[in-house]
């Protein structure tokens, strides 16, 4: 067991998702879903739109409360301060400059002024936005907003990093750079959970992959193991085959 920068004891697994269920008055029930993510691991949750990826992430980050089961980060059911989260949609304040945005969020995590300043400086460097950080975020392109948010999440000293479509809207160069930073964060011992529709990206990044469809976690395994288990030329075909084999339906019918 090691102590992270926030001063909490955090062993393995960093993230424990145990039989979580979310019920909606309208729409399918999500779960029960169980998996773990350990230090240094990149766990990818993949599936079509509406499969339950975002709902699962919202239960992990504390936005939703599970109707059954539990989520623990570093052994605690309280996620605050343990998780850095980048949602699929760019959640930014358009009237703030890039620097003001970084300071605002860094202060939510840390009260120490020196640490806040270091986090902002690190995020500014990671983002590669340069003088654009002095402009209002409302003037940014979608790709620039993603770079700002991903850079902040990578700069924070949280044991768990949750990235929902981290390279969405980024050009090829920026996508390669973000993937490099994600791999470096994993090597530094952070646990990473991500979703992506880019199967090549998942194959390059993920230590393990979870197939999810219609609110059910179909299978978990290393990318090459899942491809071998379900057949196909790549992870995308393996996922389609898994859905047909396990659920007996085609994705097109969802």
What's the token pair of residue 175?
């996508």
Our separate counts of H helices and E strands in the chain read 8, 11
Q: How many Cβ atoms are within 10 Å of 253's Cβ, its own excluded?
A: 6
Residue ranges per structural domain of the chain? 8-82+162-167+196-247
Instruction: Enumerate the H helices of the chain as residue ranges.
Output: 53-60, 98-109, 113-127, 142-155, 172-187, 199-205, 223-230, 235-247
Output the pLDDT for position 238. 94
Cα–Cα distance, 176 to 205 (Å, whole number)? 11
Neighbour order of strands in the sheet with 208-213: 83-86, 160-164, 191-195, 42-46, 208-213, 216-221
* E strands, 13-118, in order: 15-22, 30-37, 42-46, 68-73, 83-86
Residues in CB range of 41: below 8 A, 6 or more apart:
186, 191, 192, 207, 208
Q: Note the pTM of the prediction, 2 decimals.
A: 0.86
Output the pLDDT for position 50. 83
What's the token pair of residue 94?
């358009």
pLDDT values of the chain reduced to their tens digit, one per residue, 254 residues: 443 444 456 778 999 999 999 998 887 889 899 999 999 999 999 988 888 898 999 999 988 999 999 999 998 776 667 899 988 776 789 999 999 999 998 998 888 899 999 999 999 998 889 999 999 999 998 888 888 988 899 898 789 999 998 887 778 888 888 888 889 889 989 999 999 888 888 998 999 999 999 899 999 999 999 999 998 889 999 999 998 887 776 554 33
Output the pLDDT for position 78. 65
What's the token pair of residue 213?
């469809």
Output the pLDDT for position 110. 85
Cα–Cα distance, 57 to 19 (Å, whole number)? 14
CATH architecture of 8-82+162-167+196-247: 3-Layer(aba) Sandwich (3.40)
Residue 12, preceding bond cis, omega within 30 degrees?
no
């Amino acid at each position: 067991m090691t102590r992270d920068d926030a001063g909490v004891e955090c062993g393995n697994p960093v993230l424990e998702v145990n039989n979580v269920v979310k019920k909606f008055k309208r729409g399918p029930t999500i779960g029960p879903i169980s998996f773990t993510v350990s230090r240094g691991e990149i766990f990818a949750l993949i599936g079509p739109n509406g499969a339950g990826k975002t709902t699962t992430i919202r239960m992990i980050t504390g936005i939703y409360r599970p109707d059954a089961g539990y989520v623990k980060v570093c052994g605690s059911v309280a996620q605050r301060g343990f998780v850095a989260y980048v949602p699929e949609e760019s959640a930014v304040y358009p009237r703030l400059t890039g620097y003001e945005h970084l300071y605002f969020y860094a202060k939510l995590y840390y009260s120490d002024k020196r640490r806040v300043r270091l986090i902002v400086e690190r995020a500014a460097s990671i983002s590669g936005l340069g003088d654009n950080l002095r402009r209002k975020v409302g003037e940014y392109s979608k790709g620039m907003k993603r770079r700002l948010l991903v850079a902040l999440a990578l700069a924070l000293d949280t044991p768990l990093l949750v990235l929902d479509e981290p390279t969405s809207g980024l050009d090829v160069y920026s996508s390669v750079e973000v993937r490099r930073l994600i791999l470096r964060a994993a090597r530094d011992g952070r646990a990473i959970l991500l979703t992506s529709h880019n199967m090549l990206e998942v194959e390059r990044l993920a230590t393990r992959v979870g197939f999810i469809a219609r609110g059910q976690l179909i299978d978990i395994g290393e990318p090459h193991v899942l491809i071998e288990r379900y057949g196909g030329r790549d992870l995308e075909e393996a996922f389609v085959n898994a859905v047909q084999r396990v659920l007996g339906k085609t994705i097109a019918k969802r």
